[in-house]
Structure 1
């Protein structure tokens, strides 16, 4: 077991232990204490557990990015395939943005505030991208099924 793996195991154990301690603390306070504190705007009971969650989330994202990038750059075939996929996705987003319009901006409201033209344009682009990706996924599954049946 290398040093990197040992350090990760120790950090995971410490964060797990901190999470268990904070969970027991929260459970010992009881539901009524937590609800009354939340009503008063006091989040001191839950803050430590939330911070542990943030730390675990940040570490997970950092480690995933490190290992994914490390794998991408050590295997050039994977890098080429990934860049093609990212380029295709970026192309879909660009096409979606160009095709959509923000002409229906005044029709949509959130909390009594009308959507701006830019917001409506981005929502429209997201919907068009979603539709394009759904059709692409359906076609890919259909072609995969046909290819599997023909073999």
Structure 2
């Protein structure tokens, strides 16, 4: 329970820091930031990177902790299901070389991975919506 309180306090501190830095950005305004060449943004970006690293570390710690405390078989099945969705998405995606509006070349492999991400998102969104509908219908029919 103490670890939960510590993470809540850290999350609160990081949230307050984020709001303060966001306020600093808004107070400067777009033109002031453009005119300064982004001066002062470096500090805010470094804080953002630090916060991102802390959040990633915390997520990894809790995931590993949850895997070893919970049912490893169910965790591996879930990981396998996500991997299967990514493989199906990769097979469905098409990779064609193209140009961006800036004239840069997007390789066929990069295009295929972008398509993979989109297909994976669509499949997972459909599954999430279907599970919510199924759960709602099941609740209505069991009452």
- TM-score w.r.t. the length of structure 1 is 0.64
- TM-score w.r.t. the length of structure 2 is 0.66
Residue 63 of structure 1: aligned partner: 58
Residue 140 of structure 2: aligned partner: 149
Secondary structure of the structure 1 residue equivalent to 2:37: coil
Q: Distance in 2 between matches of 1:60 and 1:124?
A: 28
Q: Distance in 2 between matches of 1:51 and 1:124?
A: 31
Secondary structure of the structure 2 residue equivalent to 1:111: coil
Candidates 114, 119, 123, aligned match of 2:114 = 123
TM superposition outliers: structure 1 runs of 4+ over 6 Å:
none
Distance change (3 Å), C-alpha of 1:5 and 1:39: same
Structure 1 gap ranges (5+): none
Rg larger for: 1
State the superposition RMSD in angstroms. Answer: 3.5
Secondary structure of the structure 2 residue equivalent to 1:89: helix
Structure 2 gap ranges (5+): none
How many residues are matched? Answer: 133
